[in-house]
Amino acid sequence: MDATPGDPMLGRLLDGRYAVEAFIAHGGMASVYLATDNRLERRVAVKVMHAHLADDPETAARFQREARSAARLSHPDIVAVYDQGTEGGRAFLVMEYVAGANLREVLRDRGRLRPGQAVAVMDHMLAALAAAHRAGLVHRDVKPENVLVTADGRVKVADFGLARAVSGTTVTTTGAILLGTAAYLAPEQFEDGVADERSDVYSAGIVLYEMLTGAPPYSGDSALAVLRRHVTEAVPAPSARASEIPPQLDALVTWATSRDPRQRPANAGEFHASLVDVRDRLALHDGVPGLPVAATSRIGAASTAVLSGPPSTQIGDRPDDTLDGLMGGGPPPPGRVRRRRGPWLLLALVAAIAAAVVLGWWFAVGRYTHTPSLLNKTKSVAETQLKAAGLHVKWLPSVHSATVKAGRVASESPGPGDRIGNGGTVKLRLSLGPVTHPVPRTAGDTVGQAQDSLRALDLHVKQTVHRFSTSVAKGRVVGTEPGANTTVNAGDGVTLIVSKGPQLIPVPPVDGQSAKDAIAALHGADFAVNRVDAFNDQVPAGQVISSSPRQGHNAAKGSTITLTVSKGPQLVAVPNVDGLPIGQAVRRIHDAGFNPNPKLFAPGGPQQVFRYSPSSPQPKGTTIELDYY
């Protein structure tokens, strides 16, 4: 939807409240207009979805998501969203109106910013992103176009339309959104389609690089070519393109733009804290470059005029300003004035120019020297070098440093190579070495609890590995490497070991084996054994009847297998049937679990048992012979 005099939105009253007055900007999804909130009598910006997208549910959902996301944020460095609504089937957002330019336009006018100016802009940017991260939101589209700079030096981060909750940060790798932000996209957003707080940190690091150097680190024939360079190449130090950039800013950019998210600051808050520390140590307090180029040029010209001093009366400006008069003699004879004024005036002019040059050199250059580079030097070496340079030293309280060894110079003000007056004082701080912390105990915690415990000690998870465990439930933390209570430096990464639960392996076949062989086989498969002995009529004594879990089934490695071993058949006493009538003897033998086998020796007798065999205890089912007559 182009902004033309016939634009149907101009002059409309949205929701009976917002009077649309003028077109501001046009984007791929919506157009932005200047409007007046008649109810509160204030200027607002209204973002109206294009008519051809009104029927797209995903686009409408993005509008609603932007309003909800921004409504959760209240911060002076974030463009506020006041309201949302629908007009003629087209969704619109009502936002804070910020008069000024975006950072892209500032960079286009200036080329690049001084380190102090770049740090001032980043101060506000990271404060805004840190507020979003604390609220559980990821911006996902950090770039100069979404950073607004006002004429009075305020900075506002805009367009949370792509914002997602940290727990739901999957993105796609197609579409205009991706192609428009290829220069600032984190590698994991392109490779894995996933973004979190560290992805915003990466994009912010690229913006800092561009402010310091005047251009993004990568270029290419297409957006895809640029994205591939983000994935395969390390972002170079800004000082490789602009030599006056302090090494501390190089380190910040390198840290924030590591291709491995685990090696970056965990969130914008951590990045912001480090930026502020560098700013204060290097005394980078230039302020936000909010004025247009023309105004800046006028200020520069005025400054030059002041430095050159107030206008002075020159020899020959007044009729009575002859050289003799200036030298203290009486008035020259009338005839001599014209002859002598020219040569003497020329000499005086040359002398005045020479004096001006000498004085100019002295005030501009001669009374200054440059501070030697003292970073990482010992105290004695630093003092010796300053004395040789004719400078004095003031030692400030020592500070912790993750990059400088204890006892060496960690900060220098003015910085290395900066201009300083002859005989001036350089302020130095020695390093206490890095801040150290013991690794917290995390065994049994959830992954989230372990991450929180590490962050609280300025540590982070550099990688997560999964291992089998019979003692820790699946998904819970087994421990860390280095282990709990190990002393590490603040900012270090640790490996988080997460349980996969017990390893399941098949139970070896042991049925019918001897107890000795079966136990050896189970031990060899890393199982413990619980032996149970039981009578069995079918399995010989000493052989395995069965296992539990059954052979072939899966069981946790290291768990206990119950092995049932046969004691052979159980023996039962044979009833005494001697002298009993044969019928009664048969019943008694049968009831005892044996098979009676009666044999008649002589007919006509009393039909009584006179012998039975065997008579000793026997397994049930044994045949007992009953002899009777």
Active site residues: 141
Give the three-class secondary structure for 598.
strand
The radius of gyration of the chain from alpha carbons, rounded to an integer in Å, stands at 46
Q: What is the DSSP letter of 491?
A: T
Residue with tokens 């559980």: 136
* Tokens describing residue 205: 């690091």
Give the number of other Cβ atoms within 10 Å of residue 417's Cβ: 12
Q: What is the DSSP letter of 151?
A: T
Give the number of other Cβ atoms within 10 Å of residue 573's Cβ: 10
Judge whether 628 and 608 are in contact, CB under 8 Å: yes
Interacting residues of 107 by C-beta distance below 8 A, sequence separation 6+: 113, 144, 210, 211, 214
* Tokens describing residue 497: 């070991």
Whole-angstrom distance between the N-terminal and C-terminal Cα of the chain? Answer: 124
Residue with tokens 């007559």: 629
| CA 3 to centroid of chain Cα atoms | 40
Element (H, E) at 112: none
Residues in the chain: 629
Amino acid 339 reads: R
Closest listed residue to residue 105, CA positions, set 44, 148, 141, 139: 148
Amino acid 67 reads: A
Rounded to 10 degrees, the C-alpha dihedral 479/481/483/484 comes to: -60
Closest listed residue to residue 33, CA positions, set 70, 67, 7: 7
Bond preceding residue 508 cis, omega within 30 of 0: no
Give the three-class secondary structure for 394.
strand
Judge whether 115 and 69 are in contact, CB under 8 Å: no
* Tokens describing residue 12: 């409309």
Closest listed residue to residue 92, CA positions, set 67, 71, 110: 67
Q: What is the rounded CA–CA span in Å between residue 66 and residue 460?
A: 30
**DSSP tally for the chain: helices H, then strands E:** 16, 31
Q: What is the rounded CA–CA span in Å between residue 52 and residue 33?
A: 18
Closest listed residue to residue 248, CA positions, set 480, 19, 409: 409
Interacting residues of 445 by C-beta distance below 8 A, sequence separation 6+: 453, 476, 477
Amino acid 446 reads: T
Dihedral sign (CA 167, 172, 175, 177): positive
